[in-house]
């Protein structure tokens, strides 16, 4: 009886020790699953950018299906760290959604795309992507306004800049992952 109770107690404590030791990853691991996500996001970005440039709309079918596949894959194969990335996706969407809600100066599709980028890259990569996209969009607008080829009140498609920012976020995550591997964990 005590042996059985001891086994149950060991299983119980090891389960909660595993849950308690969970800490969110700063950057996503460059695993086969993450690389599959990367290919999926790149494939989705091509029609997203095309539609945003041509029609000034981002079709939900590309963004939501890509986000759904990534979220499902992470939940199945990377639980419990997938919870962190799902929260990042909600934060990425929510931040731009609030901007859309109060200003209407950005599209709702851009908010969904921001959520996808946050789900894919995590918080650090999303912040870098958003910063790079914003800076690129500002530079583009200032140059066009100064050249008098665009009025000040014109709306520009933001998806191409989010795509450019996502590349910057991906590169920064790769750099950060390498720094952590070499300097913090002693890898080569």
Helix then strand count (H, E) for the chain reads 6, 0
DSSP 8-state class, residue 61: H
Q: Report domain extents, the chain.
A: 29-184
pTM for the predicted model, two decimal places: 0.82
Quick one: pLDDT at residue 181?
A: 65
CA quadruple 44, 50, 56, 59: dihedral sign: negative
Q: Is the pLDDT confidence value at 155 over 80? A: yes
Q: What pLDDT score was predicted for residue 177? A: 77
User: Token digits for 32?
Assistant: 């086969």
Task: Dump pLDDT digits (tens) for 5-34.
Answer: 445 444 444 433 333 333 445 566 678 899
Q: Look up residue 20 and give its two tokens.
A: 């308690």
d(CA 107, CA 103): 10
Identify the residue whose tokens are 């990377």: 78
Provide the phi-psi class of 186: left if phi over 0, else alpha when psi is between -120 and 50, else beta. left
Q: How far apart are CA 78 and CA 99, in angstroms?
A: 31
pLDDT beyond 80 at 182: no
C-alpha span between 41 and 162 (Å, rounded): 12
Least confident of 89-93, 109-113, 172-176: 172-176
Q: Are 89 and 129 in contact (CB under 8 A)?
A: no
Q: What tokens does 127 get?
A: 């912040």
Please check whether residue 95 is in contact with residue 115, taking contact to mean a CB–CB distance below 8 angstroms.
no
pLDDT tens for 35-88 read 999 999 999 999 999 999 999 999 999 999 999 999 999 999 998 889 999 999
* Interatomic CA distance for residues 172 and 126, integer angstroms: 10
Collapsing DSSP states into helix, strand and coil, what is residue 29?
coil
pLDDT at 163 over 70: yes
């Amino acid at each position: 009886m005590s042996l059985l109770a001891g086994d149950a107690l060991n299983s119980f404590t090891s389960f909660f020790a595993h849950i308690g030791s969970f800490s969110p990853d700063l950057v996503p691991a460059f695993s086969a699953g993450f690389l599959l996500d990367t290919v999926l996001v790149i494939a989705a970005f091509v029609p997203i950018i095309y539609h945003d440039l041509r029609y000034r709309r981002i079709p939900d079918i590309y963004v939501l299906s890509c986000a759904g596949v990534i979220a499902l894959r992470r939940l199945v194969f990377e639980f419990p760290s997938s919870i962190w990335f799902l929260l990042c996706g909600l934060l990425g969407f929510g931040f731009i959604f609030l901007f859309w809600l109060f200003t209407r100066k950005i599209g709702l599709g851009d908010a969904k795309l921001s959520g996808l980028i946050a789900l894919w890259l995590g918080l650090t990569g999303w912040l870098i992507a958003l910063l790079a996209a914003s800076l690129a969009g500002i530079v583009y607008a200032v140059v066009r306004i100064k050249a008098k080829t665009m009025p000040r009140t014109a709306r520009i498609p933001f998806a191409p800049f989010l795509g450019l920012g996502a590349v910057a976020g991906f590169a920064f995550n790769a750099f950060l992952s390498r720094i952590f591997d070499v300097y913090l964990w002693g890898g080569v």
